[in-house]
Amino acid sequence: MRNWMGTVLVGLTACTSQPAPSEQVCTLIGCSDGLRVEISSTLAQPATVTVRAGNQIIGTFRCDPGNPCTTFIENQTPASVNVTVEVSGGTVNRNYTPEYQTARPNGANCPPECRQATVTVSVS
């Protein structure tokens, strides 16, 4: 009878044990390569923002007074960009070299891996 009880206890222990610490669990959070463009200003009037990489327009968006003005341009990771902010009183034109960071939202050893950068345009 003793041998039978020992076997049952060993079997129960094996069924309730936790995964080995070396096993990594990855979540399923996704991410995209891209460039975030932020306008740092309190605009008094609507503005149109155009983002160019070389001669190609990669994004255009509108900013309304009193609201945050930002966009994420997905699947675009240019080495340099030109951002133009147009309002009825004039135009602000700036060049940037984005500094891309690697993002791994599910952990260091889990996919996916994305390249993302933010450029902030100051408009006075």
In tens, the pLDDT along 12-29 reads 444 444 555 567 788 889
CB neighbours (10 Å) of residue 42?
Answer: 9
CATH topology of domain 24-122: Immunoglobulin-like (2.60.40)
Q: Which two tokens stand for residue 62?
A: 């509108």
Q: What pLDDT digit, counting tens, does each position of 60-84 carry?
A: 999 998 888 999 999 999 999 999 9
Domain spans of the chain, in order of start: 24-122
Q: What is the per-residue pLDDT across 37-67, written as a single tens digit (0 to 9) for each?
A: 999 877 788 999 999 999 999 999 999 988 8
What is the Cα–Cα distance from 56 to 13, expressed in whole angstroms?
63
